[in-house]
Amino acid sequence: MRIVLLGPPGAGKGSLASLYDIRLGIAHLSTGEIFRQEIARRSALGRRVRRYVLSGRLVPDALVVEVMAARLRRARAAGFVLDGFPRTAGQAQGLDRVLARQWRRLDAAVYLISPQPLLVKRLSGRRVCSRCGANYHLRTMRPKRAGRCDRCGGRLTVRKDDQPRMIRKRLAVDRKAAAPLVAYYRRRGLLHRVNGVGNVETVYRRTLALFRRHRWLPS
Ligand code: AP5
Q: How confident is the model at residue 198 (pLDDT cuts 50, 70, 90)?
A: very high
- Ligand 1 contact via 55 beta carbon (within 6 Å): no
pTM given for the model: 0.94
Which pLDDT band, with edges at 50, 70 and 90, does 75 fall under? confident
Check if 138 has its Cβ closer than 6 Å to any atom of ligand 1: no
Please report the pLDDT score of residue 178 as a whole number: 94
Please indicate, yes or no, if residue 202 is contained in any of the structural domains.
Answer: yes
Residue 65 covered by a domain = yes
Residue 134 lies in a domain: no
From 137, 162, 206, mutation site for ligand 1 pocket: most ligand atoms within 8 A of C-beta: 137
Nearest 5°: CA angle at 41, between 7 and 49? 45
| Radius of gyration, CA atoms only, the chain | 17
Distances (CA, A) of 190 to 6, 104, 108, 184: 12, 15, 5, 9
Range of the domain at 88: 2-114+189-214
Q: How many domains does the chain have?
A: 1
Residue type, 17: A
Q: Is the CB of 53 under 6 A from ligand 1?
A: yes
- Specify the CATH number for the domain of residue 47: 3.40.50.300
Distance 113 CA to ligand 1 centre (A): 14
Active site residues: 13, 87, 126, 159, 170
Distance from the Cα of residue 46 to its chain's centroid? 18
**CB neighbour list of residue 19: distance below 8 Å, 6 or more residues apart:** 200, 204
Helices (H) and strands (E) in the chain, counts: 8, 8
> Is position 132 within any domain?
no
CA of 31 relative to ligand 1 center, distance in Å: 10
Q: With cut-offs at 50, 70 and 90, classify the pLDDT of residue 61.
A: very high
CB of 204 within 8 A of CB of 19?
yes
Answer whether residue 196 is part of any domain: yes
For residue 81, tell me if it sits in a domain: yes
Q: What order of strands is seen across the sheet that includes strand 27-30?
A: 27-30, 80-83, 2-6, 108-113, 191-195
Residue 77 has pLDDT above 90, yes or no: no
User: Is residue 206 a part of any domain in this protein?
Assistant: yes
In angstroms, what CA-CA distances link 84 with 78, 119, 215?
Answer: 20, 15, 24
What digits encode the pLDDT tens for the residues 169-197? Answer: 999 999 999 999 999 999 999 999 999 99
The residue to mutate among 30, 71, 141, having the most atoms of ligand 1 within 8 angstroms of its beta carbon, is 141
* Dihedral angle over CA of 44, 48, 50, 56, nearest 10: -150
Task: Say yes or no: CB of residue 18 within 6 Å of ligand 1.
Answer: no
3-state SS, residue 164? helix
For residue 127, being part of any structural domain is answered with no
